[in-house]
Chain A
Amino acid sequence: MKQSSLFQAFGAVIKRDLLLAYRHRAELINPLAFFVMVITLFPLALGAEIALLKRIAPAIIWVAALLASLMSIDNLFRADYDDGSLELMVMTPHSLSILVLAKVTAHWFLSSVPLLFIAPLMGLMLHMDSNVIGILLLTLLLGMPVLSLIGGIAVALTLGLRKGGALLAILVLPLYVPILIFASGAVDAAMSGFPVSGHLSMMCAILFLAITLTPLPTAAALKMSLS
């Protein structure tokens, strides 16, 4: 008999989610296409004035990334809840918070990493300078995991509702505000040639706070949704 370690369980959850995503490859494209579409709409609506686009590009890219993340997060626990595998995940000797963290990590990897590759192209399209694009990528790298982590709480809370989609957005978007403020602050500072380390440190702090704290309420809400 072999008892699985927490590390193995963590790996198994990530592996399974990545495998499932691979089997549903087509669905991975959706948030990415959405991200590109939303960003493309702005120059079409605003006109191709370079100074204006340059000024608002970081904000557009960040808001689009935020909405793309929101779009894919509803499925974080929904499928597991519907087919009963959530019960299986809750009924393990391992800490549910850690397994939740594994699921969120998989979601982050699938939803954010592709965005990191597309975002520089979008930046170039909106005439951003290359050093500002670098800072933008750094903020996305630090900020996107926070979006997945915070979104996880709201998804777990709305799991019991049949149509949780709209409520999910209302719950989650206000919580995304701090990360949005620091991210756009950092990019703004970079554009004006000021140091960005202060903003980035704050984002790091928020990230670590979110990694340590959000799995606990998410796990509690998941347990509640099963009763």
Chain B
Amino acid sequence: MNAKKLKACQLSCIRDERLLFSELNFTLMSGQVLLIEGANGAGKTSLLRILTGFRKPDSGDLFWNDEAIDDTQEFYQDTAYIGHNNGLKDTLTAEENLRYAQALATTTLTIDDVMEQVGLNGYQETLVRFMSAGQRRRLALARLLCTHKPLWILDEPFTSLDRASIKLFEKFIETHANQGGLVIMTSHHDTSIPHTLLQKIHL
């Protein structure tokens, strides 16, 4: 994987005439994990939606590999986002959901391998409707593993996961960073991701 770089310059965000944050700067390089902390309503999700390009910052600029993110298609080639909603279809099976995600991106692993890795082996043919909240979250996160996306933007990725699954996904995040990936995430949990990889922003 080539070295990638995401740089934010003087970002600010105003919502409902309230200044959420301003003059926010950071640079994230390949192999780093950025953890965004802050109280409820501090603007974590707003910041993530700015970083995904869904929302325009009220001021400031974003650069992906030193180029301003104007052409989002090129940026989206490299970026995966998992928000509060899992982006899964209730009436499709787990496998159909992942196959659709792969059809829109670059495939890395086979679906069976990924299901095995996230501990959902045997659920390939199960409709998402019949899965538990934690299993759905795992399936949503499985999308990250079966498609090639260097930059992961994760909004509360560990919601409704049990302790073992949190450990498992922290391991995946660590591996992804070690392979030259970039991760931006918000989380209320204390993470066990090694501090050498970790940057923190407190909003």
On A, residues with C-beta under 8 Å from B are 1-4, 8-9, 11-13, 16, 19-20, 23-24, 82-85, 87-95, 99, 223, 226-227
Contact = CB atoms under 8 A, between A and B. Distances in A.
17 contacts: A1-B106, A2-B106, A2-B107, A4-B104, A12-B103, A12-B104, A19-B96, A23-B91, A83-B89, A83-B90, A84-B83, A84-B87, A87-B85, A91-B52, A92-B76, A93-B74, A95-B73
Chain B CB within 10 Å, residue with most, of A24, A92, A99: A92
A4 B103 contact: yes
Nearest to A93: B77
B106 A3 contact: yes
A83 B102 contact: no
B83 A87 contact: yes
* Chain A contact residues: helix, strand, loop or mixed: helix
Given A4-B106, A223-B54, A227-B54, A88 B77 contact: no
Interface residues of B, number: 35
Nearest to B78: A93
Nearest to A12: B103
Contacts of A91: 52, 76, 79-81
Contacts, number: 88
Given A4-B103, A88-B101, A20 B89 contact: yes
B100 A12 contact: yes
A11 to B, nearest CB: 8
A153 to B, nearest CB: 20
B89 A16 contact: yes
Contacts of A89: 104
Contact of A16 (B92, B106, B108, B148): B92
Given A91-B79, A92-B105, 9 more contacts: A1-B106, A1-B107, A4-B105, A8-B103, A12-B103, A19-B92, A83-B89, A85-B88, A223-B54
The 10 A-B pairs of least Cβ separation, nearest first, read A84-B85, A12-B103, A84-B87, A93-B77, A23-B91, A226-B54, A227-B55, A92-B104, A2-B107, A3-B106
Nearest to A94: B104
Contacts of B101: 88
B68 to A, nearest CB: 17
